[in-house]
Amino acid sequence: MTLTDAWVKAADSGMTGEFGVLTNSGDEEVTIVGGSSPAAGVVELHEVADGQMKAIDGGFVVPAGGTLTLEPGGYHVMLMQLTGPIAPGDEVTTTLECSTGGSFEVVATAKEFAGGNEEYVGGGMGGMDDMNGASQMPSMDGSQPAG
Amino acid sequence: MTEPGDNGSASGFSRRRLLLGGAAIGGSAALVGAAAGAAVATSVNQRDQQPGDSGTGALGESTVDPYGPHQAGIATPAQASAAIASFSLRPGSSRTDLVKLMKLLSDDIERLAAGEPALADPVPELAAVPANLTVTVGFGPGVFSLDGLAPYRPEWLVDLPVFAGDEIDPAFTGGDILVQICSDDPLTVGHTLRVVSNDAAAFTTTRWIQQGFHNAPGALPSGTVGRNLFGQVDGIVNPTPGTADFDEVVWSDAPAWLVGGTGMVVRRVEFELETWTQLDRAGREEIIGRNLSDGAPLSGGTPESQVDLDAVDERGLSVIAPTAHARLAAPTNPRERILRRPYNFGTGVAGDAGQIFVAFAADPAEQFVGIQRRLAESDLLNTWVTYTGSAIAAVPPGFSPGGWIGETLLEA
Ligand code: HEM
Ligand SMILES: [Cu+2]
């Protein structure tokens, strides 16, 4: 498993998205079920529906020999409770866990990006008290997810 | 389809041939029209095949390799459209910041040159038409005040002097990072500039941007030297890429990090079109030393001929005037030669027209400054031009996959 063309939306604080193309070069379907990163207190796997993002049930399913694109407005890895600012050009390391029990490391470049501002609904995970990254992800500003 | 170079006199004629003869390649609009059997009226916004263009989109897909010992956009034949952008590093910037910026830009360049979106591309759809896109990045003198870089500054890399007659506008002068973006498609130049500016924003402020243009691709028979907004054939005398001569004029061999790189000089020049047009033709030709019809020297020969500075007429007078641009610009020593790669700018109406003069030379102090001094002092052309902007940069060598522009300096 790899995440190619990996990038992260630069953010001062709060949370941000990580994107790229998940590529499964194996001959069995793999589901990405979770992740972790020194840059974030919490890592979730998100999807976007009706302009709102939420944790995806099950995980990201990548077919054998196939790909799954993570992009703004679609599937993405959500880095939450950022441990510090992620500035353009920074390299962010994330470990993604597979249903098979294995995991792999991704190095993503932080990029300035104006989009990807879908409102976060629920999830229930922490980090939402930390939303002053709102200048980076403005539409999150108004959301007051139950923490 | 019309054959390349078939300038069918009336476009209606060619269009009919297209519909009757070769609709299969004509795009869906033509097909729909033909199927309906009607006189086709497509939207003005739908680009139909034009006489002389292949109509296949091949030019749009055409790419220039961004990799190699030299950056692209220097030896590359000048594309139709350009933008030169100048950025100032934010106060307090570190060498690490510059490394990050150069890695980001190099990644953008690799992708966009291949017709693929940049990472985090704000409009990925606009990346699909590279049309020979090149992006060339240079370091202005200011870069060398970053931690530890001072010893690596090439001696010639200092702000250009203010030359006699210069009316320098700070709004078009200087900069720490110069980026030259060229493509045969102006929309692509715009998109690339946006991507570059987005990535530069965290590290720099934009100092100035100057757009430029030449004839549309395919508008002139290949190999034709284009004209500037004065109507002069401009760009005849230039080293030929791929020759030892070109390599010697253009590619730097010192300092070590700059081997395979070059020096870049930008001069923004405004044209006084109104008064220029008031001159008679002979006067306009004398000012350059070449004729207006095809650019041949007034001393005789073909457009490709060198001007003969010693030629005299029946009365014993110099054929090429003492103040002629071509005389003053001619080298006074073998080293004093440059690669000129200028673009036209402006709307083209009087008061808004000019040339963004871009030149490349291994050592601009040795090769450029002397020419510019002579021109500044005596060029008759100065009556009709005003130099309003100036910039200089060291253009690092090229890069390879996995590498990045500026590596040889910043990892030193
Ligand atoms: C002000 C705007 C300028 C215009 C409109 C202009 C126009 C021309 C034209 C029409 C020619 C003759 C045809 C050719 O060889 O391409 C020429 C030649 C040349 N120009 Fe310029 N030029 C300008 C500025 C400059 C500057 C700033 C420099 C360098 C400092 C320069 C250097 C040269 C050189 C080296 C030649 C070839 C001379 C030779 O025959 O050896 N020009 N220019
Ligand atoms: Cu999310």
- Tokens 């083209």 belong to B348
Inter-residue contact B91 to B205 (CB < 8 Å) = no
pLDDT in tens, B49-60: 777 777 789 999
Predicted pLDDT at B223: 87
Chain A residues touching B120 at Cβ < 8 A: 7, 9, 19, 111-113
Residue ranges of the domains in chain A?
Answer: 2-114
Which of A49, A52, A40, A48 has its CA nearest to residue A16?
A: A40
Across-strand partners of A104? A96
Q: What does the alpha-carbon distance between residue B310 and residue B296 come to, in Å, rounded to a whole number?
A: 16
Predicted pLDDT at B55: 79
- Tokens 């029209």 belong to B33
Domain-located, residue B57 = no
* Shortest CA gap B120–chain A (Å): 6
Chain A residues touching B97 at Cβ < 8 A: 89
Bigger pLDDT: B331 vs A100: B331
Q: Domain containing B169: what range?
A: 9-20+31-50+68-410
Mean pLDDT of B281-305: 97
Q: What does the alpha-carbon distance between residue B113 and residue B135 come to, in Å, rounded to a whole number?
A: 8
Mean pLDDT of B77-94: 97
* Position A13 pLDDT exceeds 60: yes
Q: Which residue of B has its CA nearest to A116?
A: B120
Query: A113-122, B37-46, B357-366: which has the minimum mean pLDDT?
Result: B37-46
Q: What does the alpha-carbon distance between residue B187 and residue B119 come to, in Å, rounded to a whole number?
A: 19
- Tokens 């939207």 belong to B43
List C-alpha distances in Å: B231 to B189, B288, B344, B355.
25, 12, 11, 12
Indicate the pLDDT class of residue A122, thresholds 50, 70 and 90.
low
Mean pLDDT of B157-165: 98
Structure tokens at A102: 């294995």
Domain-located, residue B1 = no
- Is 0.90 exceeded by the ipTM? no
* Shortest CA gap A39–chain B (Å): 18
Q: Residue B2 burial (CB < 10 Å; 0-12/13-18/19+)?
A: buried
Predicted pLDDT at B243: 97
State the CB neighbour count (10 A cutoff) for residue B109.
29
Q: What does the alpha-carbon distance between residue B85 and residue B69 come to, in Å, rounded to a whole number?
A: 23
Residues flanking ligand 1, CB < 6 Å: B 228, 230, 232-237, 267, 269, 288, 290, 295, 307, 325-326, 329-330, 338, 340, 355, 357, 368, 371-372, 375, 381, 385
Question: Among residues of chain A, what percentage have pLDDT more than 70?
Answer: 82
Q: Is A9 on the interface with B (CB under 8 A)?
A: yes
CB-nearest partner of A5 from B97, B119, B201? B119
Q: What does the alpha-carbon distance between residue B130 and residue B115 come to, in Å, rounded to a whole number?
A: 5
Compute, in degrees rounded to 10, the torsion defined by CA atoms B293, B297, B302, B308: 180
Q: What does the alpha-carbon distance between residue A52 and residue A46 come to, in Å, rounded to a whole number?
A: 10
Domain-located, residue B4 = no
Indicate the pLDDT class of residue A121, thresholds 50, 70 and 90.
confident
List C-alpha distances in Å: B314 to A70, B174, B283.
78, 48, 19
Interface test with A, best of B97, B100, B110, B405 (most A CBs within 10 A): B100
Inter-residue contact B385 to B393 (CB < 8 Å) = no
Predicted pLDDT at B45: 78
Predicted pLDDT at B182: 98
CB-nearest partner of A7 from B97, B103, B120? B120
- Within its chain, how far is the Cα of B299 from the centroid? 29
Who surrounds ion ligand 2 at CB < 5 A?
A: A 46, 53, 78
CB-nearest partner of B202 from A5, A19, A87? A87
Mean pLDDT of A123-137: 38
Predicted pLDDT at A123: 52
Structure tokens at A115: 């989009």
Inter-residue contact A86 to A59 (CB < 8 Å) = no
Take atom 42 of ligand 1 and give the residue whose Cα is closest. Answer: B329
* Position B24 pLDDT exceeds 50: no
Bigger pLDDT: A114 vs B46: A114
* Position B217 pLDDT exceeds 70: yes
Inter-residue contact A131 to A110 (CB < 8 Å) = no
Domain-located, residue B25 = no
Indicate the pLDDT class of residue B41, thresholds 50, 70 and 90.
low
pLDDT in tens, B183-203: 999 999 999 999 999 999 999
Domains in chain B: how many in total? Answer: 1
Burial A53-77 (b: 16+ CB within 10 A, else e): bbbbeebbebeeeeebebbbebbbb
Domain-located, residue B61 = no
Using DSSP bridges, classify how beta strands A52-55 and A103-111 pair: parallel, antiparallel or unpaired.
unpaired
Predicted pLDDT at B104: 98
Q: Is A76 on the interface with B (CB under 8 A)?
A: no
DSSP assigned state of A119: E
Per the omega criterion (within 30 degrees of 0), is the bond before B255 cis? yes
CATH superfamily of A2-114: PCu(A)C copper chaperone (2.60.40.1890)
pLDDT in tens, B361-397: 999 999 999 999 999 999 999 999 999 999 999 999 9
Predicted pLDDT at B258: 98
Q: What does the alpha-carbon distance between residue B52 and residue B54 come to, in Å, rounded to a whole number?
A: 7
Domain-located, residue B2 = no
If you average pLDDT over every residue of chain A, what do you get?
85
Predicted pLDDT at B412: 66
Residues A89, B202: C-beta atoms closer than 8 Å? yes
* Ligand with the closest atom to the CA of B375: 1
Question: Among residues of chain B, what percentage have pLDDT more than 70?
Answer: 89
- What's the pTM? 0.89
* Shortest CA gap B198–chain A (Å): 7
Residues A89, B101: C-beta atoms closer than 8 Å? yes
Take atom 41 of ligand 1 and give the residue whose Cα is closest. Answer: B330
Classify the C-alpha dihedral A125-A128-A133-A134 as positive or negative. positive
Indicate the pLDDT class of residue A116, thresholds 50, 70 and 90.
confident
List C-alpha distances in Å: B32 to A62, B36, B37, B45, B322.
40, 6, 9, 16, 64
Q: Is A51 on the interface with B (CB under 8 A)?
A: no
Domain-located, residue B99 = yes
Domain-located, residue B225 = yes
Chain A residues touching B122 at Cβ < 8 A: 113-115
pLDDT in tens, A14-72: 999 999 999 999 999 999 999 999 999 999 999 999 889 999 999 999 999 999 999 99
Predicted pLDDT at B75: 98
Write the DSSP assignment of A32-73 as a string of letters: EEEEEBTTEEEEEEEEEETTEEEEPSS-EEE-TT-EEEE-TT
Predicted pLDDT at B324: 97
Write the DSSP assignment of B183-236 as a string of letters: ES-HHHHHHHHHHHHHHHTTTEEEEEEEEEE-SPTTSS-TT---B-TT--B---
Mean pLDDT of B134-159: 98
Which of A27, A25, A29 has its CA nearest to residue A100?
A: A29
Mean pLDDT of B335-342: 98
